[in-house]
Amino acid sequence: MTHLQDFAKTIWLLLGALSGWFVGTFKPTFPLLIIAIIFMVYDSVTAYKLSVRVHKSFPEKKPDKPKFSSYLFRKVVSGTMLERLILILLAFLLEKFVFIHVSVPLSYIVTGVICFEQFWSILENESSCRADDDGMVWRVLKHLTIDKTARHLEITKEELEDIIKKKS
């Protein structure tokens, strides 16, 4: 019985040491990770808001009421978010251990690219499925970004244009 207890203590000791090393090594990346997480979560929120607008505009094509499901959010967290956070950590390792003689803030650059991608997706979500009288900002953004309405309805862009023409 004491061998099992000693083994458990050793495992906990190793896990504590490993987590201490992780926190000590990656502490400079924590603000970057938090910023990236905020952008990714807000992108999910705007995608949900787009689903609500699509449901209101096309109830016959999207009869199910949109909901912020834990399954879809788990998919974002385990897929998109995890991959991008690991990418930031890998960029930091390159910055710290490979590019030691060159001052390249690679983790900041990677975080900036990730946040820009999420920001662009947020703009696409916010500008999609808007009426022309919703405001000039949305009209300009509609011309600059991709309209995600068809993707939410799971139809082609041409089919969406036909539906909009029939409604007019």
Number of compact structural domains in the chain: 1
Q: Is 143 inside any structural domain?
A: yes
Q: Is 3 inside any structural domain?
A: no
Q: Is 31 inside any structural domain?
A: yes
Q: Encode pLDDT of 82-101 as tens digits.
A: 999 999 999 999 999 999 88
Q: What percent of the chain has pLDDT over 90?
A: 42
Q: Is 33 inside any structural domain?
A: yes
Q: Encode pLDDT of 22-53 as tens digits.
A: 999 999 999 999 999 999 999 988 988 888 88
CA distances from 24 to 29, 76, 89, 147, 161 (A): 10, 27, 13, 43, 54
**What value does the mean pLDDT of the chain take?**
85
Whole domain around residue 86: which residue ranges? 23-167
Q: Quick one: pLDDT band at residue 1, thresholds 50, 70, 90? A: low
